[in-house]
Amino acid sequence: MGGDSKSQVEMVEALSDKSRNVATTNYGTIDLFQDGSIVLIPSPSSDPKDPLNLPTWHKYMIIFLVGIYSAIAVLGTSGLGAVMPSVLKTYPNDDPARVTDLVTYPTLFMGIGNLISMPLTLTIGRRPIFLFSLLLLIITGFWCAFSTNLSSHIAGRNIFSMAAGQSEALAPFIVEEIHFLHERSSKLSWFIGIQTVGTAVLFVMTAYVVPPFGLKWWYLIITFLIIVTLILSFFFVVETMYERNLDEGDVASADSKPMAGKRRSLRPDIYGQRSLRHDLKVFHHKPVWSRVTAFYLDTAKGFFIPTIFWIFLFNGAFLGVYIYQASTFAVILTQPPYSFAFDLLGWVQIFQIAVVMVLIPLLGYGTDRFSSWMSKRRGGVFKPEFRLLSLIIPTVATVLGCVIYGQTGAHPTQYHWMGIAAPFHMCYLGFLTANLIGITYAVDAFPQKAGALLMVICVGRGFVSFGLSYSTVPVIKATGYDGAMNILAGIVGGLMVCGIPIYFLGPRIRRWSVKTLWPGLA
């Protein structure tokens, strides 16, 4: 091919150590603007089968389906907290502390599920693991529905939670892979928004189903929803793992960098058309099992990156707060002086839709716009740390929410029931924000090691939150609601203060991390 033909093949981001793309050689700090226009990062290829070249409607369909999967996963693992009084009545002869294992253990096993599945997604692909997770949810959903004792129920939920764990890492990873850097926060916020709205609606269903009909029908409804999701996902959630290794001669010049808003030419004559047969194929990649070992090694290295270590602690603290409140708010509101009926508890959850109305425009699109604005101020240079500034307001709100929730729980006669409901949603917004920003930062800062670092964040926070939430009942007995919430508020506040040096030292930390942990990428 001549030079003119080669110029039509757009620059693609190389994933091999040899290919030295801009995001790697500058350690996550990149030139986002060129001549006033946004540069597409990663650069899409001219291959119609490149996930970055999927039509917009298909991308939103993928966001919708992985969002619905995540909504069901979140409900299945944490939904019983809203009807815990009813669950306790289901097992009158068992220790209440052991019954709460139905709520606390799922967090731990979601982390274990990630630990097993994420390396496989880099070896055999995202699509087979996602579809298998849905299938495993169906099997364990029926198991839980027809369990005959608490031990069997706990075992079934634990395996159910392992299958649900992909909602934490794989699902957002899929969303990130089909979008460009400048739109990641907004598209990820749509994913989280769909997950949140779906979970809120299903929580209302939970409040109307569990007390009168029991846990069996609750699990059956969830399982049938998963079956529908599996069928749709088989047709629409295509493989998003894409090898971008190119020889140096196939890389376009700097002047031909693809820009946002400009039409890009595809080359089906070179790569072939995207077909239905291609999309429905489950396995697209020959397994490279050495990647599993490399993945675990990269994950271990991730714990030595101060910024990533801080993000996973931060996420763990927020998740611990959310699980604590999700497992206690029903108990508080159903007791005097509030005396809520069971069916009203689900409507408390429905206000999470209002949280989404804040999350998507302000923290989704807002974070992307703010990061772009900061980049323009710095001469078009983008730094992943710009996104961390969006954590300030939600973190302050979470600290205040913890204090208010604790005081209301300890002294219910002195406070309105909104002292429980409002802080619950304030802290939930904080958790969603920490999740959104943490995932996006990891992908932006270390694009070639994104999967391993998402593992660090998701598995790490799962273990941290498990430790915090597992102590819920003992801590309440020892310190009361106010004491427990004050401890969590102090942890979140302390981690927020630690974020100040993280922001300013982030670029140096990224540079040191790549040179020290992955010298082949430097």
Per-residue pLDDT of the chain (522 residues; tens, 9 = 90+): 444 333 333 333 333 333 334 434 456 777 777 777 788 878 888 889 899 999 999 999 999 999 999 999 989 988 887 787 788 888 988 888 889 889 878 878 988 898 899 999 989 999 999 999 999 999 999 999 999 999 999 999 999 999 998 888 899 999 999 998 888 888 988 998 899 889 888 988 888 898 889 999 999 999 999 999 999 999 999 999 988 754 333 333 444 567 666 777 788 888 888 889 989 999 998 888 988 999 999 999 999 999 999 998 998 889 889 878 877 888 899 899 999 887 787 788 777 787 777 777 777 888 888 888 888 888 888 899 999 998 998 899 999 999 999 999 999 999 999 999 999 988 988 888 888 889 889 988 998 898 899 889 888 887 776 776 667 667 777 888 999 899 999 999 999 999 999 999 999 999 999 999 998 776
Q: What is the pTM of this model?
A: 0.83
Q: How far is CA 130 from CA 137, 231, 304, in A?
A: 11, 12, 29
| Per-domain residue ranges of the chain | 51-242+303-521
Quick check: 386 and 185 in contact, CB under 8 A?
no
Tell me the CATH number for domain 51-242+303-521.
1.20.1250.20
Which residue type, as a one-letter code, is found at position 393?
I
Report the DSSP beta bridge partners of residue 259. Answer: 39
Quick check: 12 and 43 in contact, CB under 8 A?
yes
Q: How far is CA 118 from CA 260, 359, 465, 517, in A?
A: 31, 27, 20, 20
Q: How many CB atoms lie within 10 A of CB 239?
A: 22
Tokens of 294: 């490399």
Which residue type, as a one-letter code, is found at position 281?
K
d(CA 516, CA 522) in angstroms, rounded, equals 9
Q: Which backbone phi and psi does 381 adopt, to 5 degrees?
A: -90, 125
Quick check: 302 and 379 in contact, CB under 8 A?
no
d(CA 239, CA 177) in angstroms, rounded, equals 10
Nearest to 222 by CA among 200, 204, 206: 206
d(CA 129, CA 126) in angstroms, rounded, equals 6
